[in-house]
Amino acid sequence: MTPLLLLMFLLVAAGGTVVVSTQDPKRQAVTLSVYGVLLALLFLLLQAPDVALSQVAVGTAVVPLMVLLAVRKVRGGKR
């Protein structure tokens, strides 16, 4: 395993942990988005450009956007 791959795996493991331990969902949307980028980079290194493209489109754009909109609605309801 190349050092670069090793580093990427470590970053992904750490990234997932950070997303889980971010308590505030609004900030979690941001960490989730960053985590999505990390995953996409790992997939590129693993020679999976198709998957990386999907991950960028879904994991860093659509899903975090939905999370943000949900947080906005949920918080708005609590006021």
Partner 1 sequence: MSVFPYLVAAWLLLVGCFGVVRSRDLVHTVVCVAVAQSGTYVLLLSVGYQKGASAPVQGAPGPVVDPVVQALTLTDIVVSATVTALLLALVIQIAKREDTVDADKLDELRG
Partner 2 sequence: MTRQVRWVVFWLGAAGFGVLAVLAMIRMPGFGSLVHPYRDLAVPLANARSTPNVVSALNFDQRALDTLIEETILLGSVVGAAALLRPSDHEREHLATEEGRTLEATRLLGYLLLPMTLMVGIDVVVHGHLTPGGGFQGGVVLATGVHLLYVAGSYRTLQKLRPLAWYRLAEALGAGAFVVLGLLGLLVAGGFLVNFLPYGTSGDLFSSGTVVLLNIAVGIEVASGVIVLLAQFLAQALTVQEIR
- The pattern of x and - marking residues 25 through 54 that bind partner 2 according to CB under 8 A reads ------------------------xx-xxx
Q: Which is nearer to partner 2, 6 or 14 (CB)?
A: 6
The SS3 assignment for 50 reads: helix
Name the site residues for partner 1 (rule: CB under 8 A): 1, 6, 9-10, 12-13, 16-17, 19-23, 25, 28-29, 32, 35, 39, 42-43, 46-51, 54-55, 58-59, 62-63, 66-67, 70-71, 73-74, 77-78
